């Protein structure tokens, strides 16, 4: 992408005013999405992103700059502009860049860019048609296939030169059911760090049927009444509860600035002893997986909480300096235009020992959250809110009628104490996580869990 000589010169310029660390991040990304509305191709986006982001550190002070160009003059200009923000002068010694190849544990069989639109359209259309045919109440379907071929290069004043190519594909199928002027939606959206071979993992008709079934179920659901109750949260995307309520507060970006409920709690019991939580960027072909993070550090499996005890934060280089901690390979950025910071990869609650049937039968009156929607959290207070996409009431230990309009509201540090039953079957679900360094692919996950009491919003 950029020559070794150019990278060395850019780093030299960036260091010229006294920085003690400099980093060049270059990117060339092709992305494409194809959207079907009611089984017909409605729009296609087809984009190339190309540019450079340069950072320098002096102690814990960071200066950064970016430019939408990989032309040598633009890269060098960006480096000089960044250096100008520091006033000192410095003698920069000759840099030696040594290339490191960390390997790729995420094989891609079919590069999306090599496949014609028509093949992708046929697959998505089949999924949408299956949704349509599922029920006469389905009035619309939306399908979307999204692919990214993200090439990155990182060179630092520590002498590191490394590259990665991240290919990801995701399929969205949404069904809208309508009756008596009311609409409800159902959605399924699997993705992986894979190419078009992702099609082999899912029968398109099955995707369509699932989305439609969810929409129809929710269309005939009544509203849940608000209150405090025990909730059983299903595996897979249910893990968004941990992601939102705790994961963000374990990012060094929040911890280093004192904006986290878990500051100073390493080694302490912060969760129910049943809870072990992991952030693992090394899962082969995982949606949130990376070979190297966006500072060039190899990704690793980080145990965050073990049997309720806080073991580790997720740390990037800059916040690592503030905390006196080494990077955990957790630095991520959406693109060269964002400054990287500590983020999650594939985050999940590990398997426990409770049987699913025991979890359900333990609840006299409560909510079974089969599919969660998205959510958000205030990292300072840990207060969160997330939507239940598909929920059912539990009465006398049995899953009963579906309910709509439910949301779960609580505080992260309290909820993880209340996870008092943890099932055996971990599944992961895909999401896009938004924060200061942009929108990045992350997996959430867990087995079926029970939260002994939580505020359920409804009407």
Partner 1 sequence: MTYQEFKESVIREAKARKIAEYEIYYTESESTTVEIFQEEVKGYSTESSLGVCFRCVVNERAGYASTEDLSEEEAVSIVDRALANAGSIESETKALLHKKGDHYEKVSETQKEEVSGAELVETALGVQRKLYQADSRVTDGTQTYLAQGREKYALYNSNGLDLEDRAAYTQCVAVSVVKDGEEMNNGMADKMGAMKEIDIDALVAEAVEDAVSAIGAEGVASGKYPVVFSGKAMASLLMTFASVFSAEEVQKGLSLLKDKEGEKIAADCVTIVDDPRYPGSAVKRSFDGEGVAAYAKNVVEDGTLNTLLYNLATAEKAGVKSTGNASKPSYASVVGISPFTFYIKPGEVSREELFRKAGSGIYVTSLQGLHAGANPVTGDFSLAASGFLVEDGCKAKPVKGFTVADNFYALLKKVVSVGSDLELVHGRVGAPSVLVEEITVGGK
Region 337-376 residues binding partner 1, contact defined as CB under 8 A: 337, 339, 373-376
Which candidate, 275, 247, 254, 286, places its Cα nearest to that of 376? 247
> Cβ neighbours of residue 5 under 8 Å, at least 6 residues apart?
none
* Residue 370, helix vs strand vs coil: strand
**Interacting span for partner 1 (CB under 8 A) from 91-99, 117-125, 163-171, 343-351:** 117-125
Are residues 279 and 347 in contact, defined by beta-carbon separation less than 8 angstroms? yes
Which residue number, 169 or 413, has a Cβ lying nearer to partner 1? 413
Q: How far is the CB of 415 from partner 1 (least distance, A)?
A: 12
Residue 319 has phi, psi (to 5 degrees) of -70, -25
Q: Does 117 bind partner 1 (CB under 8 A)?
A: yes
Closest approach, Cβ 316 to partner 1, in A, equals: 13
Q: Which is nearer to partner 1, 145 or 448 (CB)?
A: 145
* Sites for partner 1 among residues 31-90 (CB under 8 A): 34, 37, 40-51, 60-70, 78, 81-82, 84-85
Instruction: Name the residue nearer to partner 1 (CB basis): 139 or 303.
Output: 139
Minimum Å gap between C-beta 126 and partner 1 is: 15
Question: What's the distance, CA 43 to chain centroid?
Answer: 25
* Farthest CA pair distance, the chain: 75
For 198-212, the three-class secondary structure string (H helix, E strand, C coil) is HHHHCCHHHHHHHHH
- What gap in Å lies between CA 61 and CA 69, rounded to an integer? 26
* CA torsion angle 66 51 280 374 (round to 10): 80
> Cβ closer to partner 1: 128 or 359?
128
In whole angstroms, the minimum distance from the beta carbon of 429 to partner 1 comes to 14
Nearer to partner 1, 219 or 419 (CB): 219
Q: Closer CB to partner 1, residue 89 or residue 117?
A: 117
Please report, as residue ranges, which positions from 440 to 459 form the binding site for partner 1 (by CB under 8 A).
455-459
CA dist 360 and 140 (Å) reads 34
- Residue at token pair 């060049």: 24
Query: Which residues, numbered 133-162, are part of the site for partner 1 (CB under 8 A)?
Result: 139-140
Using the contact rule CB under 8 A, the part of the chain among 147-155, 231-239, 268-276, 380-388 near partner 1 is 380-388
N-term to C-term CA, the chain: 55
- 163 versus 291: smaller Cβ distance to partner 1: 163
Q: What is the torsional sign of CA 453, 220, 239, 436?
A: negative
**Residues near 73 by Cβ (< 8 Å), separated by ≥ 6?**
none
Query: Token match 């995701």: residue?
Result: 170
Q: Which stretch binds partner 1 (CB under 8 A): 193-201, 206-214, 385-393, 418-426?
A: 385-393
- Of 286, 296, 405, 445, the one binding partner 1 (CB under 8 A) is 405
Q: Which is nearer to partner 1, 344 or 360 (CB)?
A: 344
Q: Is 438 in the site for partner 1 (CB under 8 A)?
A: no
For 363-437, strand residue ranges (E) read 365-378, 383-395, 398-404, 407-411, 419-422, 427-435
Site string for partner 1, 216-245 (x = CB under 8 A): ----------xxx-----------------
Least Å from the CB of residue 450 to partner 1: 20
Q: Which is nearer to partner 1, 70 or 290 (CB)?
A: 70
Q: Which residues contact 133 (CB under 8 A, 6 or more apart)?
A: none
109 makes contact with partner 1 (CB under 8 A)? no
* Tokens at 5, concatenated: 């000589």
Nearer Cβ to partner 1, position 258 or 324?
258
Hey, how many other C-beta atoms are within 10 angstroms of the C-beta on 119?
11
Taking the complex as a whole, the smallest distance from the CB of residue 278 to partner 1 amounts, in Å, to: 24
Task: Indicate the residue among 44 and 326 with the shorter CB distance to partner 1.
Answer: 44
Nearer Cβ to partner 1, position 238 or 410? 410
Task: Name the DSSP class of 269.
Answer: B
Non-local CB neighbours of 451 within 8 Å, separated by 6+ positions: 230, 231, 232, 233, 241, 415, 418, 419, 420
Provide the edge-to-edge strand list for the sheet that holds 438-446: 309-310, 301-306, 277-280, 346-349, 438-446, 427-435
For partner 1, the binding residue among 3, 91, 118, 396 (CB under 8 A) is 118
The number of residues that bind partner 1 (CB under 8 A) is: 75
Q: Which range of residues in 89-97, 144-152, 251-259, 356-364 is near partner 1 by CB under 8 A?
A: 251-259
User: From start to end of 251-332, where are the E strands?
Assistant: 277-280, 301-306, 309-310, 331-332
Shortest Cβ 150–partner 1 spacing (Å):
14
- State the minimum distance, in angstroms, from the CB of residue 64 to partner 1: 4
Nearest distance, CB of residue 343 and partner 1, angstroms: 16
**Rule CB under 8 A: which of 174-213 touch partner 1?**
176, 178, 181-185
285-324 residues in contact with partner 1 (CB under 8 A) are none
């Amino acid at each position: 992408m950029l020559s070794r000589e150019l990278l060395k010169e850019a780093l030299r310029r960036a260091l010229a005013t006294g920085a003690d660390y400099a980093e060049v991040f270059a990117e060339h990304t092709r992305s494409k999405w194809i959207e079907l509305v009611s089984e017909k191709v409605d729009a296609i986006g087809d984009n190339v992103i190309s540019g450079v982001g340069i950072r320098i550190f002096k102690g814990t002070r960071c200066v950064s700059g970016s430019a939408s160009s990989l032309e040598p003059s633009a890269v060098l200009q960006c480096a000089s502009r960044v250096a100008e923000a520091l006033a000192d002068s410095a003698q920069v010694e000759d840099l030696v860049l040594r290339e490191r190849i960390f390997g790729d544990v995420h094989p891609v069989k079919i590069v999306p860019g090599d496949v014609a639109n028509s093949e992708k359209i046929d697959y998505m259309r089949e999924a949408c048609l299956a949704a349509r045919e599922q029920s006469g109440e389905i009035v619309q379907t939306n399908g979307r296939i999204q692919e990214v071929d993200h090439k990155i290069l990182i060179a630092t004043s520590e002498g590191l030169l490394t590259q990665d190519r991240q290919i990801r594909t995701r399929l969205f199928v949404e069904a809208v059911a309508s009756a008596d002027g009311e609409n409800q939606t159902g959605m399924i959206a699997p993705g992986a760090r894979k190419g078009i071979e992702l099609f082999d993992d899912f029968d398109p008709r099955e995707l369509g049927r699932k989305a439609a079934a969810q929409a129809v179920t929710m269309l005939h659901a009544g509203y849940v009444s608000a209150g405090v109750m025990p909730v059983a949260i299903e595996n897979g995307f249910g893990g968004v509860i941990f992601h939102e309520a705790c994961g963000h507060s374990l990012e060094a970006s929040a911890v280093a600035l004192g904006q986290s409920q878990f500051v100073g709690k390493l080694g302490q019991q912060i969760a129910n002893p049943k809870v072990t939580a992991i952030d693992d960027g090394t899962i082969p072909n995982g949606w949130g997986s990376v070979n190297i993070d966006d500072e060039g550090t190899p990704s690793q499996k980080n145990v965050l909480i073990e049997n309720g005890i806080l073991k580790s934060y997720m740390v990037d280089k800059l916040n690592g300096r503030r905390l006196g901690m080494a990077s955990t390979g957790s630095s991520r950025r959406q693109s060269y235009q964002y400054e990287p910071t500590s983020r999650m990869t594939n985050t999940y609650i590990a398997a426990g020992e409770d049987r699913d049937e025991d979890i359900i039968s333990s609840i006299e009156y409560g909510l079974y959250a089969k599919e969660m929607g998205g959510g958000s959290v205030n990292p300072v207070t840990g207060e969160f809110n997330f939507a239940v996409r598909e929920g059912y009431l539990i009465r006398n230990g049995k899953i009963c009628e579906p309910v709509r309009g439910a949301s779960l509201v609580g505080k992260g540090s309290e909820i993880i104490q209340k996870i008092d039953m943890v099932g055996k079957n971990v599944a992961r679900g895909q999401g896009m996580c938004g924060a200061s360094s942009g929108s990045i692919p992350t997996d959430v996950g867990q087995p079926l869990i029970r939260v002994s009491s939580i505020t359920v919003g409804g009407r």
